[in-house]
Structure 1
Amino acid sequence: MSIKFSREHEWIDASNPQAAVVGITAHAQDALGDVVFVDLPEVGKTYRQGEVAGVVESVKAAADVYMPVTGEIVEVNEALRADPALANSDPLGAGWFFKVKLANPAELDALMDAAAYAEFCKNA
């Protein structure tokens, strides 16, 4: 399965629906600037699609991190907590935020693929 994108600029790789990986997009980190702090969700907590699951702070602003799908947090990226700049240097890799066990995989259908997200960002 390919990566999907939300209108709130999160990405999700749900190739493993038991531990789908979520982070902020390159577009989001470009807009934020240098990330200096992340507030990650608690492992074991369940969120509904669209709920705030964390916060990312940069030298310019703070922004909420929204759940792209409903599910339970199964892991957080402790390396990101220790080095928030990973969200800038590798937002789609080492800068991931958390992993979620999907409650409703059908919610992925409402998210954008890479081409649709690129078009969305042009008009944003």
Structure 2
Amino acid sequence: MAILKDRPEAEDALHDIYVTVWKDAQGATRDGLRPMTWLIALAREKAVARLRGRARPADGANRPWVTVPAPSVEGARPGSINAALTTLEEPEAEALRAAYLGGLTYRDLAQRDGIPMVAVRSLLRRSLLRLKELVPA
């Protein structure tokens, strides 16, 4: 839901994920991943693939992305990711939301912000490291 923003489409994606897991449950161990890590990566991959498959807008815009809103922090417990995102600088927090909640790729972020892809990678890496410091394990 966080990536697709459409319940029926998210349910279809979830069904695809269940089918993939059913057919290839050994995928996690084959790739050397923990099962939950593999499942999360698979879910994000399926959602982003569906998002990219949507029709392009008539105005010729590159992608039908929308600005990813900041998550609500009402009721967020201290140390949660939502609370930590509010403490990051806005460019860092917005880049994380766009990449990991909105499904934008490095290339999409670079084109949108008019910066080199290497700068996007560095920004996301620094932002993730800072977020890791703010959210206890």
Tell me, yes or no, whether TM beats 0.5. Answer: no
- Decide which structure has greater helix share: 2
Which is bigger in relative contact order (C-alpha 8 A, separation at least 6)? 1
**With structure 1 as the length reference, what TM-score do the two structures score?**
0.23
- Decide which structure has greater strand share: 1
**With structure 2 as the length reference, what TM-score do the two structures score?**
0.22
